[in-house]
Amino acid sequence: MSELSIAHNPFMLMLNPEVVIAAMEKSEKLAQLHRHHCRPLDRVTLQNPDSEVATVDEAVDEAVDEAVDEAVEAAVDEAVEAAVDEPARDD
């Protein structure tokens, strides 16, 4: 393949990373970019525990926990009733 078609095909560039790295090192446009590190996940975000969002989130969590507990209880009760109602088999 010619160099032009390789440059326009990103999958071919993955097969030859040395060419990509060399082109990056020679690039004047990349050299002119201002470089700085942004690490937004490193910053501590302070939340007000009394905020409306926290209150709503807590209410939703409690409602979900209650619904799950009720569903588990109902499933267990149903399984117990089915086991009790089922006649014992002699194998």
In this prediction the pTM is 0.38
Give the model's pLDDT for residue 61: 93
Give the model's pLDDT for residue 39: 74
pLDDT surpassing 60 at residue 78: yes
Q: Is residue 91 part of a domain?
A: no
- Provide the number of structural domains found in the chain: 1
Which segment of 3-7, 50-54, 80-84 scores lowest on mean pLDDT? 3-7
Q: Is residue 90 part of a domain?
A: no
Burial of 45 (0-12, 13-18, 19+ CB in 10 A): exposed
Domain with 68, as residue range(s), is: 3-85
Helix (H) or strand (E) run with residue 75 in it: helix 52-85
Q: Is residue 70 part of a domain?
A: yes
